[in-house]
Amino acid sequence: MFFRYLSRELRRRSRQAFVVSLGLAVGIALVVAVSAMASGVEQAQGDVLHSLYGVATDITVTRSGAGQGPAGFRVGAGEDPQRISRDQVMTGPGQAPFDASEVDEIAGADGVADAVGGLELTLIHLNGKLPTFDLGQGGSTTGTNAAPQAPQSVAVTPGQLRVATSSLTGVDTSNTNLGPLAGTRVTSGRSLDTGDAKEPVAVLDADYAAQKDLAVGDTLTIRGTDFRVVGIVEASAQGSGGSDIYLPLAEAQTLAGLKGQIDTVYVKATSSQTIAAAKRAIQKVDPDATVTTSSDLAKQVTGSLSSAANLASKLGSWLSIAALATAIVLATLLTLAAVGRRTREIGTLKALGWRTRRVVGQVMGETLVLGAIGGAIGIALGVAGAWVVTKVAPSLTATIANGPTLAGSGGAAAGGDPFSRTISVALHAPISGSLVAAAVGLALAGGLVAGLFGGWRAARMRPADAMRQVV
Amino acid sequence: MYELDDVRKRYGNGKGGVDALTGVDLTIPAGEFLAIQGPTGQGKSTLLQLLGAMDRPTAGRVAYDGHDLGGLSERELTRLRARAFGFVFQTFNLIPTLTAGENVETALVGLGVHGSQRRARAAAALAEVGLDHRTRHLPGELSGGEQQRTAIARALVKEPRVILADEPTGNLDQDTRDEIVGLLESLWKTHGVTLVVVTHDDTVASRAPRRMRLEAGRMVDGAAAA
């Protein structure tokens, strides 16, 4: 009787049932789609971190300070004073190197599964001809000479200088499962391994190698040191991040003049749930350190990824909440109106001896079914929306200006600021089981709220009150 | 069966309140067929509601089988309605989405009768009022007379001790009216139920052995008509 009566009632009021279900469906669809996209944005933020620090890295530890900063270039003795070709290797602004022994302390912190040190550097290559200053009194000097005589006139011949920036990372070859190389895939040759610790070898990013026309077996010269290219890699994560040049840590330290120093510790937490706890533990171990998780990194990111994150967290959330609330209010009002129209019917049932609980159950059953139908349609619409987003996979860019690292790829060179980098990631909208379960719960809750109000009104009806409408 | 002692019913409070019953004294023995007449708005339907445990009096006592209905809890009143009283309304009050058979079944829901037994009893009740061929029809597919007969079957199916009918022929033409009154009279005789019919129709009232008149909320004529 319960289900027969329920289904017939819903069929009788099919138009109203359709409106209620559709309203709930739109609300649920928005919740599902927006949540899926928010989850995708979160995943993209994770990709940005992984692209910067390797797929296994949950946390990075750096230390702020003056850093080495950009330095001047001196023309060496015996060279053409007007032509230069020089490399400068340095850590980034605001990033201070620290003793490599801190890795062990961090590795021992609670919630930390593994930790490895690295040295993220920027290689600035200056190449070309310096400008010429032709002094009116007959003297001539280049921009590198100091103390010019006070000239009456100066004729300047512009130089032709090209500045190229590349990222260079010193990798602890004893553990490449964590850190920058963990986020890469070997496309040619091999990766660095334990045996390379003190060898002048290099692994190059595929884009950088192509740009420099280098292949496995070729030699890369940095500050007069020849490095044999043993492998070419590309980022295996979604992001196009990663370093241009990977060297054994000791070699990078030598190049930068930072013996026994690192500037980044890559940390893997024991689980994704313990990241925050691990961060606190690391801060306890090393109060001076800057400890960055993917969610911290997200705050430093600008670009369309940041806009998408804001859109998902602010507009999207409010839109879905507003739509769902409107749908529930609509469902409640329509249910109240429907119960009001059924005064005679409900009064009759009570006069026949139906208990109030049974009448309320009948009303709530109807709204719960509407909630379930709305939920099913809403989930289908939401999943379809998320599928479209995943299929289209719009590209989002994340720009980290003066971020915690100097590591940069070709993107850094293309930008005006050599210390910022832009990473592009594809947006997906993953649908999880828990999201679907939450959507089902919300839809049923919507139906339940409408049913509670409708049931409340039905419960207040007395058989005599109902009869009074007709007698 | 019924003992009504100075029963009063007032709707609303203060000056805006309406006195529907102003002191009704009435005794209805078991098995009686009583017709209550009177002009519209004189309290007939209110009296029927009190007899059917659908409402409580403002003052006075409505006793059914010695129990003061005004003192019973809502749950006890519901149980009493489910077991003892069958109602027949002027506008039939059938659930429009349920078939005639299902409408009759609704009267057994409160008694906890389940499944096939409920269907069998509903079918038997419909057969008794001559509607066994209409069991699967919706109210909208039935004539006015058939709808009222379905409502009578619904009142009858629980085997009540009392059938309370409120203007049962008010929405019917003359031929159908006679048919319905005849049916009620026949059921009263065969089932031995107490039948209380509220009507302003003299023809209907004339079929009752006892007729009462209600005016301005009081019984003004307690003489037997027959």
> Cβ of B106 and A4 within 8 Å?
no
Instruction: Give B39 or B119, the one with higher predicted confidence.
Output: B119
Polymer length in residues for chain B: 226
> Cβ of B89 and A470 within 8 Å?
yes
> Confidence band (pLDDT; 50, 70, 90) for A303?
low
CA distance B10 to A96: 89
- CB contacts of A471 in chain B (<8 Å) are 45, 48-49, 89-90, 166-167
Tokens of B154: 């619904």
Polymer length in residues for chain A: 471
Query: pLDDT tens-digit profile of B171-194?
Result: 888 888 888 999 999 999 999 899
At A93 the pLDDT is: 67
Please say if the pLDDT value at position B100 is more than 90: yes
CA distance A421 to A243: 11
Q: Give how far Cα B1 sits from Cα of A25, A195, B62, Å.
A: 56, 107, 10
Query: Quick count: other Cβ atoms within 10 Å of Cβ A260?
Result: 12
- CB contacts of B109 in chain A (<8 Å) are 1, 352-354, 358
At A376 the pLDDT is: 92
Cα atoms in the Cβ-side hemisphere of radius 13 Å centred on B145: 15
Smallest CA–CA distance, residue A458 to chain B, in Å, is 15
Q: Give how far Cα A322 sits from Cα of A41, A311, A376, B102, Å.
A: 21, 15, 19, 42
At A148 the pLDDT is: 52
> Cβ of B82 and A352 within 8 Å?
yes
Percentage of residues of chain A with pLDDT beyond 70: 76
User: Exposure of A213 by Cβ count < 10 A (0-12 exposed, 13-18 middle, 19+ buried)?
Assistant: exposed
Per-residue b/e over B50-67, b at no fewer than 16 CB within 10 Å? Answer: bbbbbbbbeebebbbeee
At A153 the pLDDT is: 67
Query: pLDDT tens-digit profile of A199-251?
Result: 999 999 998 999 889 999 999 988 888 999 999 998 765 444 578 899 999 99
> Cβ of B48 and A358 within 8 Å?
no
Please say if the pLDDT value at position A364 is more than 70: yes
What's the mean per-residue pLDDT of chain A?
A: 79
Query: pLDDT tens-digit profile of B1-12?
Result: 899 999 999 988
> Confidence band (pLDDT; 50, 70, 90) for A404?
very low
Closest CA to A263 of A91, A418, A421: A91
Instruction: Give A255 or A49, the one with higher predicted confidence.
Output: A255
Query: pLDDT tens-digit profile of A262-301?
Result: 988 988 888 877 888 889 999 888 888 888 887 776 666 6
At A241 the pLDDT is: 53
pTM of the entire predicted model: 0.63
- CB contacts of A467 in chain B (<8 Å) are 45, 49, 54, 89, 166
Please say if the pLDDT value at position A7 is more than 70: yes
At A400 the pLDDT is: 65
> Cβ of A355 and B98 within 8 Å?
no
DSSP character string of A130-148: --EEEETTS-EEETT----
Closest CA to A113 of A268, A276, A291, A281: A268
Amino acid type, A375: G
Q: Which residue of chain A is at minimal alpha-carbon distance from B157?
A: A352
CA distance B187 to A449: 46
> Confidence band (pLDDT; 50, 70, 90) for A44?
confident
At A86 the pLDDT is: 76
Please say if the pLDDT value at position A91 is more than 50: yes
Please say if the pLDDT value at position A152 is more than 70: no
Tokens of A270: 């024991």
Q: Quote the distance between the C-alpha of residue A270 and its chain's center.
A: 20
Please indicate if any CB of chain B lies within 8 Å of the CB of A391. no
Closest CA to B81 of A458, A457, A347: A347
Query: pLDDT tens-digit profile of A322-340?
Result: 877 887 888 888 888 888 8
Lowest mean pLDDT among A78-82, A306-310, B50-54, B80-84: A78-82
What is the ipTM metric for this complex?
0.92
Percentage of residues of chain A with pLDDT beyond 90: 15
DSSP A92: P
> Confidence band (pLDDT; 50, 70, 90) for A71?
very low
Please say if the pLDDT value at position B205 is more than 60: yes
At A348 the pLDDT is: 92
Instruction: Give B76 or A73, the one with higher predicted confidence.
Output: B76
Per-residue pLDDT, averaged over B130-156, amounts to 93
> Cβ of A353 and B154 within 8 Å?
no
Q: Which helix (H) or strand (E) holds A46?
A: helix A14-53
DSSP A220: E
Q: H helices of A239-342, where?
A: 249-256, 275-285, 294-300, 304-310, 317-341
Query: pLDDT tens-digit profile of A365-377?
Result: 998 998 899 889 9
